[in-house]
Amino acid sequence: MRAPGVGRIIAAQLTARFPNGMSSLAILLHVEHITGSYGAAGLVLASASVGQAVAGPITSRWMGRWGMRRVLTLTLAVCVLSFLGLAFLALPLPGYMALGLIAGLSTPPVQSAVRTIYPKLVNSSQLTPLFSLDASLQEIIWIVAPVVITIVSTQVGSQQGLLLVAAVLVAGGAWFILSPEVGRVRIPRSRRGFGAVVLKPPVLLATVIGFLLIGACSAVEVGVVKTFDEGGLQAGLVLAVFSLGSLIGGLASGRVPIGPWAMARRLAIVAVGLSLTMFSLNVFWLGGTLIAAGIGIAPALAVLFAITSASVKFSETAEAYGWVGTGQLIGAAAGSAVAGFLIDRSGSPAGAYLAATLFAAVGLIVSVVFVRAFPDLRHRDASPIPDTEAVPLP
């Protein structure tokens, strides 16, 4: 944090990404309020999620072609207009779905941008701790944002909830875009074809394991909401504790060297903690087991960010993080769907915790089976590979 610009860019990117923790609930509550149907709201939300998943690698790659500020400004403007349309326009369901899709497609690629900037802000020995700090602090978004948007949308109005999302998008996005660090860092244009970077083993592993890890987290959220559907405060507190565990784990592991087995050890913590949730649905038991499981989440995400950065050229980092983000978005949708299916089949929230445990266990198995594909960063830094090219000599 003492390195010049680090504190500013962390604060700016957290503010710019804060709407990510509000937009889903804001859309869900508004469309349900307008149509009276959770099914219709779910379709609009699914459209937005599909848009985000598709756009992630594409808009991230555009930053190497047209520059970060241009791409971020364009996507921000379209995204804000989409939310204003959702708030003010009276449309049939397909119209709301189209606006949801546009909002997802135009989500500013702030996460890819900031993780591309980090290697230019700190020296090589500080990069892995910075990734860990970033993974930890992003938990603030998932602790605070859902509470804020739920209060505004239910107590003030669902339209005002969407307007709040648009306002934070503008404020946070402008702060990030105007940050000097964003203007100073230029991403070289990638010389490889679109999608080639995801075929690199560490990037592919980061994408697959991110899918499984976020799938587990999403299944937990469904299980907690189902467990305490008659007591929303308890559900919120248990999920906050889950995120708090992740925050603590990320801060504690910031300077732990990342070797090939680092991911397996951190996912083992998550898998064991989640497996214990199935023994009791008592609020204190769930809180204790989830804080234990959460201790491994931010450290595991830090490994994902570090191995991605260390395995690609600087010109490919933004697109690589776009693919990793897409894997996580698909994992969130898959985790929710599988958890919901198991709850319906069993009639008990335990089905969701089983789903979460299975997602985490598969992630652990993948990290063990393919351990040789993980780069050893214990004696090297996580900086991207420099872009080089032939220099003609006279």
Dist. CA 275–CA 257, nearest whole Å: 27
What is residue 213's predicted lDDT score, i.e. its pLDDT? 93
pLDDT band at 323 (very low <50, low <70, confident <90, very high): confident
**Which amino acid, one-letter code, is at 128?**
T
Q: Between these two residues, 275 and 232, which has the higher pLDDT value?
A: 275
pLDDT above 80 for 78: yes
Region 173-189: mean pLDDT is 85
pLDDT above 90 for 180: no
CATH number of the structural domain spanning residue 365:
1.20.1250.20
- Lowest mean pLDDT across 65-69, 98-102, 317-321: 317-321
- How many folded domains does the chain comprise? 2
What is residue 229's predicted lDDT score, i.e. its pLDDT? 67
Contact of 61 with 194, CB cutoff 8 Å:
yes
Regarding whether 178 and 29 lie in a shared domain, the answer is yes
pLDDT band at 102 (very low <50, low <70, confident <90, very high): very high
What is residue 38's predicted lDDT score, i.e. its pLDDT? 65
Regarding whether 221 and 108 lie in a shared domain, the answer is no
Range of the domain at 380: 191-384
Regarding whether 209 and 177 lie in a shared domain, the answer is no
What is residue 265's predicted lDDT score, i.e. its pLDDT? 92
What is residue 361's predicted lDDT score, i.e. its pLDDT? 95
Dist. CA 115–CA 127, nearest whole Å: 10
What is residue 391's predicted lDDT score, i.e. its pLDDT? 56
Asked, for residue 172, whether it belongs to a domain, the answer is yes
Q: Between these two residues, 134 and 301, which has the higher pLDDT value?
A: 301
Q: What is the pLDDT of residues 212-224, one digit of tens each?
A: 998 898 888 878 8
Region 334-352: mean pLDDT is 81
Regarding whether 353 and 245 lie in a shared domain, the answer is yes
Percentage, residues of the chain above pLDDT 70: 95
Q: What is the pLDDT of residues 22-64, one digit of tens each?
A: 887 788 788 888 888 767 777 887 788 888 888 888 888 888 8
Asked, for residue 137, whether it belongs to a domain, the answer is no
Asked, for residue 365, whether it belongs to a domain, the answer is yes
Regarding whether 168 and 313 lie in a shared domain, the answer is no
Mean pLDDT for all residues in the chain: 84
Regarding whether 175 and 46 lie in a shared domain, the answer is yes
pLDDT band at 140 (very low <50, low <70, confident <90, very high): confident
What is residue 221's predicted lDDT score, i.e. its pLDDT? 80
Token pair for residue 72? 């971020």
pLDDT band at 269 (very low <50, low <70, confident <90, very high): very high
Regarding whether 220 and 168 lie in a shared domain, the answer is no
Dist. CA 110–CA 181, nearest whole Å: 13
Asked, for residue 318, whether it belongs to a domain, the answer is yes
Region 315-339: mean pLDDT is 82
What is residue 83's predicted lDDT score, i.e. its pLDDT? 94
Dist. CA 19–CA 16, nearest whole Å: 7
Asked, for residue 178, whether it belongs to a domain, the answer is yes
| Cβ-based neighbours of 317, under 8 Å, separated by 6 or more | 112, 115, 116, 119, 187, 308, 309, 384
Region 293-318: mean pLDDT is 85
Asked, for residue 26, whether it belongs to a domain, the answer is yes
What is residue 381's predicted lDDT score, i.e. its pLDDT? 67
Percentage, residues of the chain above pLDDT 90: 27
Instruction: Give start and end residues of each alpha helix (H) in 228-278.
Output: 232-252, 262-276
Regarding whether 251 and 111 lie in a shared domain, the answer is no
Regarding whether 227 and 109 lie in a shared domain, the answer is no
Q: What is the pLDDT of residues 232-266, one digit of tens each?
A: 567 777 878 888 888 888 888 777 888 889 899 99
